[in-house]
Amino acid sequence: MKFIVSSAALYSHLQAVSRVINSKNALPILDCFLFQLENGVLSVTVSDSETTMETSIDVIECVTEGKIAIAAKTLLDALKEIPEQPLTFSVDSSTLEVTVTYQNGQYSLMGQNADEYPQSAALNNESVKFTMSVDTLLAGINRTVYATADDELRPVMNGVYFDITTEDITMVASDGHKLVRCQVLDAKGNDRAAFILPKKPANLLKNILPKEQGEVEISFDERNAIFALGNYHMICRLIEGRYPNYNSVIPKDNPFKVTVDRVSFIGALRRVAIFSSQASSLVKLRLKDSSMNISAQDIDFSTSAEENLVCQYTGTDMSIGFKSTFLIDILSNISSDEVVIELADPSRAGVIIPVEQEEGEKLLTLLMPMMLND
């Protein structure tokens, strides 16, 4: 096997897919990139046994075809130090020695037998298929993935739920304290279907989608999903189980509404939250007429802070507590200049909605309050 490839193109693709590889793998071969050269196209595969990603790179010159597994960390670290130039890869099929020749020198390393690399999972005949634009999928994942849980007892909460109908596709994530529902109006399925995408593949997509354009074709059955893009192809194991009825926990009519500038609100929260209790990160919002008082205190260290913001508020005077880190997370993942917080009373969930929704999207977030002592 021998070929010539651009160092920058190869490094860029390898870096993108290398995030699949776990720091500790049960099979040593999973620490490797699988290189396969066929018809002048180099495909590189990585896997952690649950998620497999493949990328394609056009080579400058293909001398002989073949396949080899190469240690990922060694190759990435070596390529990082090489400026843009053609690289010549030569593989000795009998000894599995790999020689990488560049302008002023060469690297030699030992490969592994490519036949030992595990095969990718295949979908059954009853798989469901639909397409979305790359930008739409990326926006949906960005809006939701931060709200997923890390709960060993309720694994269905550890991913992004795709609820597919013939009218739209809704992406949902929740950790029991906060919930994000992002309705995508620009995409739809042929039938009613659903799947739960685990957090790791969701974050992998978040990293590779900005490099892509056009459409992404998504196919899935009960166990696996395939995301087919222009230069990348990902197969991942899905989370099995029934996702809770997310619509039932969203309040239908919270009568009191606060409209506030999002950036000013985040800034005030970050400043005040420094003085909150490290255990709870509790901040208190006191709403009255057209002002919002944001306060926090840590009784153990006798520290406190408060700040006032101008807002539009319709309703009775109210004090409500929220975990500051959750509130900042939610506000940071909304793009609108202003947000509306819909409230009912200090013990019921607050609904946070952007004043200006993105085109083709309906975003709603929910945050459970924290108990106030006073």
| Number of domains comprising the chain | 3
Measured CA angle at 85 (ends 84, 88), to 5 deg: 135
Interatomic CA distance for residues 323 and 136, integer angstroms = 30
Give phi and psi for 85, each to the nearest 5.
Answer: -170, 165
**Domain presence at residue 122:** no
| Maximum separation of any 2 CA atoms in the chain, in Å | 80
pLDDT (average), residues 23-32:
87
**Separation CA 94–CA 75 (nearest Å):** 21
Structural domain contains residue 305: yes
Q: Are residues 232 and 309 in the same domain?
A: no
Asked whether residue 87 is assigned to any structural domain, the reply reads yes
Nearest in space to 88 (alpha carbons), one of 13, 37, 31, 19 = 37
Residue 180 has pLDDT above 90, yes or no: yes
If asked whether residues 111 and 133 sit together in one domain, one would say no
Please compute the mean of the pLDDT values over residues 292-317 and round it to a whole number. 91
- The answer to whether residues 108 and 165 belong to one domain is no
What pLDDT was estimated at residue 320?
A: 93
Q: Average pLDDT for residues 235-245, to the nearest whole number?
A: 93
pLDDT at 364 over 90: yes
Residues 6+ apart with CB under 8 A from 369: 320, 321, 322, 346, 347, 348, 349, 350
User: Does 138 map to a domain?
Assistant: yes
Q: What is the pLDDT of residue 350?
A: 93
87-120 CB burial, b ≥16 within 10 A, e <16: bbbbbeeeebebebebeeeebeeebbebeebeee
Residues 234, 363, 196, 15, CA torsion sign:
positive
Angle (CA) 178 360 160, round 5°: 35
Predicted pLDDT at 119: 86
Q: What is the mean pLDDT of residues 307-323?
A: 91
| CATH number for position 299 | 3.10.150.10
Terminal Cα-to-Cα distance of the chain (whole angstroms): 73
| pLDDT at 49 (0 to 100) | 87
How long, in residues, is the chain? 374
Give 159-179 pLDDT, tens digit per residue: 999 999 999 999 999 999 999
pLDDT digits (tens, 9 = 90+) for 74-113: 999 999 989 999 999 999 988 999 999 999 899 999 999 9
Three-state DSSP string of the chain: CEEEEEHHHHHHHHHHHHHHCCCCCCCHHHHEEEEEEECCEEEEEEECCCEEEEEEEECCEEEECEEEEEEHHHHHHHHHCCCCCEEEEEEECCCCEEEEEECCEEEEEECECHHHCCCCCCCCCCCEEEEEEHHHHHHHHHHHHHHCCCCCCCHHHHEEEEEECCCCEEEEEECCCEEEEEEECCCCCCCCEEEEEEHHHHHHHHHHHHHCCCEEEEEECCCEEEEECCCEEEEEECCCCCCCCHHHHCCCCCCEEEEEEHHHHHHHHHHHHCCCCCCCCEEEEEEECCEEEEEEEEHHHCEEEEEEEECEEECCCEEEEEEHHHHHHHHHCCCCCEEEEEECCCCCCEEEEECCCCCCEEEEEEECCECCCC
Domain-embedded: residue 373: no
Domain boundary among 206, 221, 244: 244
Among 244, 276, 293, identify where a domain stops: 244
pLDDT of the residue at 151: 86
Residues 106 and 178 in one domain: no
Residue 199 domain boundaries: 128-244
Q: Backbone phi, then psi, for 187, in 5-degree steps?
A: -130, 150
Q: 219 and 254 share a domain? A: no
> Which value, in Å, is the radius of gyration of the alpha carbons in the chain?
25
pLDDT reported for residue 74: 93
Q: What is the pLDDT of residue 127?
A: 87
Average the pLDDT over 367-371 and give the result. 91
The whole-number pLDDT of residue 3 equals: 92
Q: Which two tokens stand for residue 132?
A: 């979305």
The answer, yes or no, to whether residue 187 has pLDDT greater than 90, is no
Per the prediction, the chain carries an average pLDDT of 91
Same-domain check for residues 299 and 223: no
State pLDDT tens for residues 319-356.
Answer: 999 999 999 999 999 989 999 999 998 989 999 999 99
pLDDT interval class at 189 (50, 70, 90): confident
374, pLDDT greater than 80:
no
Domain termination residue (choose one: 116, 140, 156): 116
Return the pLDDT at 68.
93
The structure's pTM equals 0.89
Mean pLDDT of all residues in 10-39 = 90
Residue 373 pLDDT > 80? no
Q: What pLDDT sits at residue 88?
A: 94
> pLDDT tens, 46-81?
999 899 999 999 889 888 889 999 999 999 999 998
Domain presence at residue 123: no
Task: Decide if 47 contacts 30 (C-beta within 8 A).
Answer: yes
| Structural contact between residues 260 and 350, judged by C-beta atoms closer than 8 angstroms | no
Query: What CA–CA distance (Å, rounded) separates 174 from 147?
Result: 5
Q: In Å, how far are 155, 304, 324 from 279, measured between CA atoms?
A: 25, 15, 12
